[in-house]
Structure 1
Amino acid sequence: MKSEFHTGGMIMELLAPAGNWEAFLAAMGNGADAVYLGGQSFSARHYAENFNKERIDDALSYAHLRKKKVYVTVNTLIADHEFAMALDYIWDLYQMGVDAVIVQDIGLTHALRKLIPDLRLHASTQMTVHNSAGAVLLREEGVKRVVLAREMSRDELAKICCEVKDMEFEVFVHGALCYSYSGQCLFSSLVGGRSGNRGRCAQPCRLAYQLFSCTGDTPVASEGRHILSPADLCLIEQLGDLQRIGIHSLKIEGRMKRAEYVAVVTRAYREVLDSLAVDPGSTVSPELKKRLERIFNRNFTGGCFQMDRVGYLSPKRPNNRGIYAGRVVEQSRDITTRIKLTEELRVGDGLEIWVKKGQGPAFTVKDILLQGKRVSQAEPGDIVSLKIEGRAGAGDRVFKTYDSELMEDAQASIEAASRSKLPLDILVSLQEGEPLSLLISDGEGRQVKVKSPGRLQKAEKHPLTREVLQEKMERLGNTPFYLSHLSLMGEENLMIPFSELNETRRRG
């Protein structure tokens, strides 16, 4: 079911990231209305796998057949010597039929409006648009949508949506945050020579630091050493509010994330949007929120949208912390470790033990012993014995960092999307002395009519029966279609050569 949660006729778009083809399929197969991806050049995620032109063309074909959209990022600052190359590249994207190009460079934006006026442009969050004046300026440059800065509060978003008409607004609702202002951070450039505005951010904000006062050499006490590392944004409980204030598109961050992450997060937001379409007062279930925690989290925050000053940072860990799964009861000399579980545990899950000092053991569960018996899974409350590599002590906390069941479900959705085919209805018209006619339709209002080169004749041996036509029409090969329904109209006991019948089907 596609969400139609709206007020005043507006439908919010769910926009998912794709760093590679598998992630693209994950987004398509789990309810995204549109996908944003980067090419091999001028992308703010230089270290993602990204897409060459052939793969972009594949993505466009796949998405457009399913009435979904593809936006391509050209969201870095463009050097003078790159300008002509950037324009050539975007011209190719325009010719391919991309639904929009996401840009950061204002000079490039101005040039594109002059040179390719029909190309739809979206202003990247890297432009740091955070007020009505900025949005109006871009509207005058022909930009159709602005990805607003993540540093805006709920009231600031509402104000700009109210004041600026004839403009779409997009906001990030889930994923990694930047410690600095979107598009304005020079930290990576200064400490490592890798510019975030050129797609090469080294993420120095995720490193460990010590804070010193200006008056002494003693470190200032802090909750953790990762004092610049933000938690992950999660606005899944604010989607109704975002719709009410006038947001058009909900964006999930994650072009550097694995495809399974894209699948799980996209599906969660799709489910909430669909639920809101039925009942605008519906709430997000604890199980759904926990699903997001199970796939990846650094703790979640409402960010600037909710002015969450307390939970904005994740100073203890800069990476996936997983979910709390239990505590160590004891560890024997042969490092067999007994753990009392608070979560389900399966063979194949990944665990990490947080020890009191140093780096704790992190491992994949290969065997579970429960009351002396080998089992494939255990339940909350069970005390299990695991062989681990590394030392842990009684009372140490255990976190599940890889959920095998969740990953298998995500992988299944990706595989299903890779095999996904669209239904076709075919009407065969048969009239002696006339060409055989095929009317092929896809149920979405698109149809094509083709005729055989030769004319139908009375059959002496092999008439075109329903069974024969069904078998021939089902031969759709490597196309993205399958035959859903075959209808016949006209006379019986007619024939044309099978070679002509097959050629007519292929042309259709």
Structure 2
Amino acid sequence: MKKVELLSPAGSFDALRSAVQNGCDAVYLGGMMFGARAFANNFDEEELKKAVAYAHIYGVRVFVTVNTLLYEEELETFKEYAIKLQEADVDALIVQDMGAFVLLKELLPDMELHASTQMHIHNHDGILMMKEEGASRVVVPRETTIEEIREYAKLGLDLEVFVQGALCVSYSGQCLMSSQTLQRSGNQGECAQNCRMQYTLEKEENGIRKDVSTKGSYLLSCKDLNTLEEVPRLIEAGIASFKIEGRMKRPEYVALMTSLYRKAIDAYYEKKEFHVDKEMKEEMQKIFHRGFTKGHLFHQMGSALMNPVRPNHIGIEIGIVENVHKGKMTIRLHHDLAQGDGIRILSKKEDAGFCANRIYKNGLLVNKAYANDRIQMDVNTYVEKGSKVLKTSDVVQLENLRQSFEKGKRKVEITGQFSMHIGQHPLLVVEDGIHKVEIASECVCELARKTALDPDRIQTQLRKTNDTPFIFKDITLDTDIQGIFPISELNRMRRDALNKLEELRKNVNGNRRVQTPKFTCLPVQNRQELLVVVSTQKQYEVCKEMGITNIYVENEALYHQLHQIDEHVYKREARVMKEDYEPYTMIQENGGMHHMKHGIGDTSLNITNSLSAGFAFSHGLDIVTLSIEHDENSIKNLCDGFEKHFHQKGNFALQVYGHVELMLSEYCPVNACIKDNNKQNCALCRGNTRYSLRDIKGHRYPLMNDIHCRMHLLSEEPIKNYKDISKYKQLGITSFLCVFTIEDETECRNVLHDLLEVYHA
């Protein structure tokens, strides 16, 4: 069995050092462009070269994220950037955009490519398609279960799986919440984390709205994934790479999580028991957590998955406020507290957070207090008696973790052979299993007149490698027992050998090719269609009444009902697809292109450039709907770019009406807030009851649940761009998409009346 890779995040050079020194096998990081963490301390060109060289010395691979969507005007810049990444000896690129993937495959044929979780590859078809396209691995969604991983692992493509860190409530690559509400696109690395904001669950019956009482108001905020206890099961499921999330986290967090998963993985292969004890749990809780969950991997739902009370770091509880008097609060501790620790006082009104600068015990200032001590601290904000006291940072822990990577404890094992014969030039040979370095001395070994050079002294001098990344596992000596040789020269030979070996280890991938991309696209037949998606029987009847012929139905029960009575409808497949596809459908996920002969591509394919469009047409789509995130300029650039690259016009559709699907989630806030059980199909969302989430500004986001109990969070207002149809036609759009979700028949009829009037003008 191939040993599982431990993959750690590196949002800064210190984080990279902490990952490497604490035992990772690979790191992933972002450069200055095209990464999904635009606000991390990403690496510029020189820092990246330094980071790659540092990691390679220790045998650690470096993956760079280029996992944003590319727009047409970015393609040339992206090409230049990708070439620089290859020149920096980066080991692999993590890619979201299918156009970027196609471009990289042509441009850098020797570069290893990984399909990002942002690519939304979540089924057999998607994995097989990426395998055929030349991907080395797929980063599966966080929503993937361990049973699915076991099946996917049999398909012969490496799977990378998140095992630790923050969870997104929505499927990655399918979240438009930040983009549509705050104009910060998650698909451009600018996510504003709407899921960590406050919401009220609202219920509407017979036109009357009521707030639903909930435990907290952070109804979309997930706990942090932690599967440390499940490492054996995860390895045995066939995972190739364990991924720790955290490019926005501090180096100490990376150090701790990397070291713990390293120990757990090594224990498994050494057939030793690894137990996550109370102390270990507290170490993880102190460094960062929002509560821990085993996530969708192990079918956790409701309160086991979510933390609606607080969206930020919780730390550990260390005491209770017993009294507040004259600017001081008295706390009874049940954990140690040191000067400089971060603490938070929980309050019904507002939490108070500060650093423990002054700690009083028996009226005297102390720098540390212990469990069961009663202490006083200064307080200049509102604090209630009985409030819980949390420790959110621990100065001793942080210092120990800093030492773990600043001292450079990780060593590369090497072997050495030293030969020294009278009248000859001594020779030192050093090997690391890949490289071989030979250093011959300019000095000659002489016959000792008094004391010969002792073999033990030679061993001692050669093993002085503490200030290097290396340690000798074995040194073989072949020396004349009466020979003498300068110790200073022996030390120089050792230094030169190790320096040369270090330089050799920095470049792993050698000279890789850069080629001129050649793109092909199957002939595209001209199509001009009005495509309408319906969700209810009433909507379908209005469409039929108004002469709409291209009707697509996502509601599975309604589709089968209409299909059985020979109604002329097509299937709009689910955005998360685990079943087989119908012969002619509208697809919403990349895997749908694997066996597609004819079909329609929906907005969720994230088509933002001509190359991703060309890929879609070449994989059986007749019409490709562009991403909802386009503006007029990017639409024109894409259409022009397509004609330039493929010498033909494309059949492009644009959604001109509909409530935008802002989030798609396996989590259901209705069930979680009202029932909080671990069973699906609770039926709360059935019938005439409608639910919405309302934010603190009063914006209301309707909730829809499908047959699989997935949550579809919709935009407050529908987009209504059909008045600009003539303008879009001039830009190169040939077809138009209208999506009905929560509209009643009157709204549906009014929209179609206005839309048809413009469409046929």
Q: Same fold (TM over 0.5)?
A: yes
* 2:479 aligned with 1:489: yes
For 2:445 and 2:167, locate their aligned partners in 1 and report how far apart those are by CA, in whole Å.
Answer: 69
TM-score w.r.t. the length of structure 1 is 0.87
Structure showing greater radius of gyration is 2
For 2:285 and 2:300, locate their aligned partners in 1 and report how far apart those are by CA, in whole Å.
Answer: 18
Q: Which residue of 1 aligns with 2:372?
A: 381
AA aligned opposite 2:347 = V
* Among candidates 321, 324, 328, match of residue 336 of structure 1: 328
Alignment of 1:121-270 (within 5 A): 121-162=113-154, 164=155, 166-214=156-204, 215-216=207-208, 218-270=210-262
- CA deviation after TM superposition for structure 1 residue 382, in Å: 2.4
For 1:30 and 1:282, locate their aligned partners in 2 and report how far apart those are by CA, in whole Å.
Answer: 17
Contact 2:452 2:481 survives alignment (8 Å): no
- CA deviation after TM superposition for structure 1 residue 251, in Å: 0.5
For 2:495 and 2:362, locate their aligned partners in 1 and report how far apart those are by CA, in whole Å.
Answer: 64
* Among candidates 401, 417, 422, match of residue 410 of structure 1: 401
For 1:395 and 1:385, locate their aligned partners in 2 and report how far apart those are by CA, in whole Å.
Answer: 14
CA 1:78–1:328 in structure 2 vs 1: closer, same or farther (change >3 Å)?
A: same
CA 1:494–1:277 in structure 2 vs 1: closer, same or farther (change >3 Å)?
A: closer
* Among candidates 65, 68, 88, match of residue 73 of structure 1: 65
- CA deviation after TM superposition for structure 1 residue 330, in Å: 0.6
Contact 1:438 1:505 survives alignment (8 Å): no
The answer for unaligned runs of 5 or more in structure 1 is 1-8
What is the root-mean-square deviation of aligned Cα atoms in Å? 3.2
* 2:471 aligned with 1:448: no
AA aligned opposite 2:175 = C
- CA deviation after TM superposition for structure 1 residue 85, in Å: 2.5
For 2:77 and 2:231, locate their aligned partners in 1 and report how far apart those are by CA, in whole Å.
Answer: 39
Q: Which residue of 2 aligns with 1:5?
A: none
AA aligned opposite 1:33 = D
* Among candidates 106, 112, 122, match of residue 114 of structure 1: 106
CA 1:114–1:339 in structure 2 vs 1: closer, same or farther (change >3 Å)?
A: same
Contact 1:472 1:502 survives alignment (8 Å): no
AA aligned opposite 2:217 = R
Contact 1:466 1:488 survives alignment (8 Å): no
Measured against aligned partners, the alpha-carbon deviations of 1:378-402 in whole angstroms (never above 9, x if no partner) come to 3333222222232322211111111
Secondary structure in 2 matching 1:250: strand
Alignment of 1:468-483 (within 5 A): 480-481=469-470
More displaced stretch, 263-272 vs 252-261? 263-272
More displaced stretch, 178-187 vs 108-117? 108-117
Aligned-residue identity in percent: 36
Measured against aligned partners, the alpha-carbon deviations of 1:162-213 in whole angstroms (never above 9, x if no partner) come to 3x1x211111011111121111111111111111111111112212233333
For 2:61 and 2:315, locate their aligned partners in 1 and report how far apart those are by CA, in whole Å.
Answer: 32
Secondary structure in 2 matching 1:329: strand
AA aligned opposite 1:398 = V
* 2:378 aligned with 1:390: no
AA aligned opposite 1:245 = A
Measured against aligned partners, the alpha-carbon deviations of 1:262-301 in whole angstroms (never above 9, x if no partner) come to 1111122222223333447644222212221111111112
* 2:496 aligned with 1:506: yes
For 2:359 and 2:472, locate their aligned partners in 1 and report how far apart those are by CA, in whole Å.
Answer: 47
For 2:445 and 2:390, locate their aligned partners in 1 and report how far apart those are by CA, in whole Å.
Answer: 74
* 2:21 aligned with 1:29: yes
Measured against aligned partners, the alpha-carbon deviations of 1:7-31 in whole angstroms (never above 9, x if no partner) come to xx13111111000000001111212
For 2:52 and 2:181, locate their aligned partners in 1 and report how far apart those are by CA, in whole Å.
Answer: 39
Q: Which residue of 2 aligns with 1:313?
A: 306
CA 1:413–1:502 in structure 2 vs 1: closer, same or farther (change >3 Å)?
A: closer
Secondary structure in 2 matching 1:213: strand
Contact 1:451 1:504 survives alignment (8 Å): no
Contact 2:224 2:291 survives alignment (8 Å): yes
More displaced stretch, 290-299 vs 64-73? 64-73
Q: Which residue of 2 aligns with 1:4?
A: none
Q: Which residue of 2 aligns with 1:349?
A: 341
For 1:362 and 1:27, locate their aligned partners in 2 and report how far apart those are by CA, in whole Å.
Answer: 29
For 1:464 and 1:100, locate their aligned partners in 2 and report how far apart those are by CA, in whole Å.
Answer: 52
AA aligned opposite 1:192 = L
Secondary structure in 1 matching 2:246: coil
The answer for unaligned runs of 5 or more in structure 2 is 501-761
For 2:378 and 2:365, locate their aligned partners in 1 and report how far apart those are by CA, in whole Å.
Answer: 12
**Aligned pairs, number:** 493
- CA deviation after TM superposition for structure 1 residue 127, in Å: 0.9
More displaced stretch, 389-398 vs 52-61? 52-61
- CA deviation after TM superposition for structure 1 residue 55, in Å: 2.4
Alignment of 1:353-372 (within 5 A): 353-357=345-349, 359-372=350-363
Secondary structure in 1 matching 2:142: coil
